[in-house]
Structure 1
Amino acid sequence: MPEAGALRWPLTGYGTRELVLGTALLGGAAALAAWVWAPLAIAPAGLWLLLVNFFRDPERVPPEGEGKLVSPADGRVADMVRVREEEFLHSDALRIGIFMSVFNVHVNRAPVAGLVVYRGYRPGKFHNAMGPEATRENECSSVGIERPDGSRVLVRQVAGLIARRIVTDCAVGDDLQRGERFGMVKFGSRLEVYVPTGAAFRPRVKVGDRVRAGETVLGEMGAPGA
C-alpha cells in the first residue's frame, strides 16, 4: 500500500494521477494567466493548493488497547443508528456514519486489526452523502474484517455527490492493522462502520463529534456474544 513516509510532503499515492494531471493543467493555466496579467495567476495557483491539500496523508498513531475501534475516516459523525446488516454481518448492528467534506483528509484507515474476509462492491447513484438515500442507493465498496477473537466489523466507503471514485486497496486474505491505510474516496463522501449488537460495543462518540482516521476511538468492543 502507498506510504507517505517516502515523500517530502505527506501526500498519498492514491492521488498520483490527479496530482500530476492537475499540476500540469493548473500550472499551464497559471503561466498563461500570468502572461496576460500577473494577478490572474492567483486563481489557478489557489486551485492547485486545494488539490494538494485534498490528497494530504499525515501519519497517525492508533491508540493502544485490543478492543478499541478507531474511526476509518476524518470528518464528522453524521449518524448512529441500529440497522439490520445483511451484506456481511447478517445480524442487527450499530451503524456509525462519518461525513467527509472536501477539506478533510480522505485517506481511509482500518477501524480494527484483523483478516479481510469479505470484499463487496455495489454500483449506484451519487446522491448527497449527507442524505438518507446515500447509504441505500449510492455506489459503495465494502470491506469485512474478522478480528482474532472471531468478531466481525464491516466498513463501507460510500460515494457522494462530488466523489466519483472509490479506491479500496485491500483484498480477501490481507491482514490489516488497526489504523492501516486501505483506500480513499476522492473528493468528499461518507464512511460507515457496522458493529454487531452482539459484540457488546460501547460507543465513545456521539452525533456531531469530529473524528480523525486511525486515532479517534469510536468505541470499545467486548468479546463476541458478551
Structure 2
Amino acid sequence: MTLHKEGKATLLIALAGVLAVYAILRYFLPENDLIHGLWLFASLVIMGLVLQFFRKPSRPLTQNPNQILAPADGKVVVIEETTETEYFNGPRRQISIFMSPLNVHINFNPISGIVKYFKYHPGKYLVAWHPKSSTDNERSTIVVEHENGKEVLFRQVAGAMARRLCWYVEKGQNVEQGKEFGFIKFGSRIDIYLPLDAKIHCQIDDKTVGGQTVIAEW
C-alpha cells in the first residue's frame, strides 16, 4: 500500500500545519507538557487520517469482457431503472455507490473500451445521498463504449465534503477495465448507468471493492 499522488500536497500541508501549531505552543506555553502531549497525540491522529484517506492499495488487475466492475469502494445505495438525460436520453439501469471518508477514494474503469463522451459540470455540494445530487452537484460524466458496441456511463458526484473531482481520461482515449480513471477527495458517490438488459449482481447495502467487485454482466 502506498500514498496516492493526489494526497502528496495535502500531506505536506497537514504536516506544515501541525508543526506550525506545535511551534506556537512551544513559544507561548514552553512549560506546559500536558498541552504539548495532547497536541502531539492530535497531530498523529490528523496525519493518520490523511494517510488512510489517500492510501493506494495494491490490487491485482481483474479483467473480463463479460463483466462490469464496481468503479469505487463503498456501499450500494441505489439500484433502479431511471431515465438518463445527459447522454442517452432514455431508460437505463442506475447503480450508485456511496463512498464514506473511510473508503479508498480511487475510481476505477468498470469496463474496457473507448471514451466516447466526457463533460465536467460545476455545481452545488448537496449531501451525496440527496436525490438531486446526481443532477445538481459538481460532477463529471464519462461514457465508455465497449468492444461489443454497448455503452456505459459513469459519473463522479461531489458531496457536501467533496470539493475536488480528479479525472485522468479524455474523449477518444482507450481505457482498461480495473485501472484508475479518477479520484474524489472526501466522501461522495459514483453513479453508473447500464443497459436495461445487463444482469445485475449486487444488492442494496452491498459493500463493493473498486476494480474487483462484479456488479453486473452483459
TM-score, normalized by the shorter chain, greater than 0.5: yes
Q: Tell me how many residue pairs correspond in the alignment.
A: 211
State the Cα distance separating 1:132 from its structure 2 match: 1.2
Matches within 5 A, 1:151-162: 151-162=150-161
Tell me by how many angstroms 1:203 deviates.
0.6
Matches within 5 A, 1:1-226: 9-30=1-22, 36-37=32-33, 38-40=36-38, 41-197=40-196, 200-221=197-218
Q: In 2, distance between residues paired with 1:30 and 1:187? A: 26
State the alpha-carbon separation in 1 of the partners of residues 25 and 44 from structure 2.
Answer: 10
SS of aligned partner of 2:51: helix
Partner amino acid for 2:101?
A: V
* Distance in 2, Cα, partners of 1:188 & 1:30: 29
Partner Cα distance (1:16, 1:181) in 2 = 17
* Contact 1:30/1:42, CA 8 A, preserved across alignment: no
Deviations 1:147-204 (A, max 9, x none): 111110001000001001000111112111101101111011000110121xx20011
Q: What is the TM-score when the length of structure 1 is the normalising length? A: 0.88
Percent pairwise identity = 33
SS in 2 for 1:194: strand
The answer (yes or no) to whether the contact 1:89–1:196 under 8 Å persists in 2 is: no
Superposition deviation, residue 91 in structure 1: 2.5
Distance 1:191 1:42 in 2: 34
User: Deviation string for 1:45-95 (max 9, x for gaps)?
Assistant: 201110111000112224443111000000000111111112222321011
- Larger CA deviation: 24-33 vs 142-151: 24-33
Alpha carbons 1:26, 1:45 under 8 Å: kept = no
Report the residue type matching 1:220 in the other structure.
E
2:152 and 2:194 in contact (8 A); partners too = yes
Please identify the structure whose Cα radius of gyration is greater: 2
Structure 1 residue ranges (4+ consecutive) displaced by more than 4 angstroms after TM superposition: 30-36
Q: What is the TM-score of this pair, normalised by structure 2?
A: 0.91
Contact 1:27/1:45, CA 8 A, preserved across alignment: no
2:61, 2:80 → 1: CA distance?
25
Whole-Å separation in 2 of the counterparts to 1:48 and 1:31:
17
AA matched with 1:143: I
List runs of 5+ in structure 1 lacking aligned partners: 1-8, 222-226
Q: Check whether the contact 1:94–1:194 (CA below 8 A) recurs between aligned residues.
A: yes
Residue 115 of structure 2 aligns with an amino acid whose one-letter code is V
Distance in 2 of aligned mates of 1:137 and 1:43: 36
